[in-house]
Amino acid sequence: MGTVEAATKQAIESTLAQKKPKVVFVLGGPGSGKGTQCANIVEHFGYTHLSAGDLLRAEIKSGSENGTMIQNMIKEGKIVPSEVTIKLLEKAILENENDKFLIDGFPRNEENRAAFEAVTGISPEFVLFFDCPEEEMEKRLLGRNQGREDDNIDTIRKRFKVFLESSLPVIEYYNSKGKVRKIDAAKPVGEVFEAVKALFTPVDEKAAA
């Protein structure tokens, strides 16, 4: 295994192992309110929010060779390999001085999950799962009016289907490890955040409250 790539992988692993970041995966269907709640967690609990999609988009924008490859894969409707997304996440974690991270929209499937743990040696503290009925998510997405071209009914339903098929096995896996914290995301934003807050507040602080 004396390749440069293997040496680099080993270097990343050891650096990440030394850093021992606290990672929380944030999962939920499109329109479940993940973005809003992540912003609240960042503000109240000092986490750094990493969105797998944002990192991929930023890499494409940078015009790097890696970015061009990602762009071509997306254009062809292919799924970006786990290793590519994981490398971007690792880089973001190592370059940030914080040691607490919300990773949003990843792992998208079981293969992502296994690769992330194998490559980084990191297992999440827990998985924050925003559980929201499809009708509610549909209503929210159609009412968003953010000019996102993927917010039309057919595309929305396709995105739900993909989420259910690929992400639910990840949720089931972590559930079997006792690591899933399910939040009823159909409630108003404020109520949802109260439930989220309870998960992030240290036990000793709750006792003192």
Q: Is residue 186 part of a domain?
A: yes
Strand partners, 184: 131
pLDDT band of residue 9 (cuts 50, 70, 90) is: low
Type and span of the H or E element at 105: none
On whether 113 is known to bind a ligand per the annotation, the reply is no
Type and span of the H or E element at 154: helix 153-176
Question: Which stretches does DSSP call E strand in 52-193?
Answer: 100-104, 126-131, 180-184
Q: Is residue 160 part of a domain?
A: yes
More confident residue, 146 or 116: 116
On whether 35 is known to bind a ligand per the annotation, the reply is yes
Residue 150 has pLDDT above 70, yes or no: no
The strand order across the sheet containing 180-184 reads: 48-51, 100-104, 22-28, 126-131, 180-184
Torsions phi, psi for 77 (to 5 deg): 75, 15
On whether 182 is known to bind a ligand per the annotation, the reply is no
Which tens digit of pLDDT belongs to each residue from 39-79?
999 999 999 999 998 999 999 999 999 999 999 988 887 77
Half-sphere exposure of 54 (CA within 13 A, CB side): 9
Q: Is residue 57 part of a domain?
A: no
On whether 107 is known to bind a ligand per the annotation, the reply is yes
Q: Is residue 43 part of a domain?
A: yes
Q: Is residue 190 part of a domain?
A: yes
On whether 3 is known to bind a ligand per the annotation, the reply is no
More confident residue, 108 or 24: 24
Which tens digit of pLDDT belongs to each residue from 74-117?
888 777 889 999 999 999 999 999 999 999 989 989 999 999 99
State residue 58's pLDDT score: 95
Residue 207 has pLDDT above 60, yes or no: no
If one counts the domains in the chain, the total is 1
pLDDT band of residue 8 (cuts 50, 70, 90) is: low
Q: Is residue 90 part of a domain?
A: no
Which pTM does this prediction carry?
0.82
Q: Is residue 120 part of a domain?
A: yes
On whether 81 is known to bind a ligand per the annotation, the reply is no
| CATH number of domain containing 115 | 3.40.50.300
On whether 159 is known to bind a ligand per the annotation, the reply is yes
Decide: 23 and 101 in contact? Cβ < 8 Å. yes
For residue 160, what are the contacts with CB-CB under 8 A and spacing of at least 6?
Answer: 29, 30, 134, 137, 138
On whether 67 is known to bind a ligand per the annotation, the reply is no
State residue 18's pLDDT score: 74
Q: Is residue 66 part of a domain?
A: no
Structural domain boundaries enclosing 162: 21-50+100-196
What's at 195, amino acid-wise?
Answer: A
Rama region for 181: left / alpha / beta (φ>0; ψ in -120 to 50; rest): beta
More confident residue, 20 or 27: 27
On whether 143 is known to bind a ligand per the annotation, the reply is no
Distance CA 119, CA 93 (A): 14
Strand partners, 23: 101
* Whole-number average pLDDT of the chain: 85
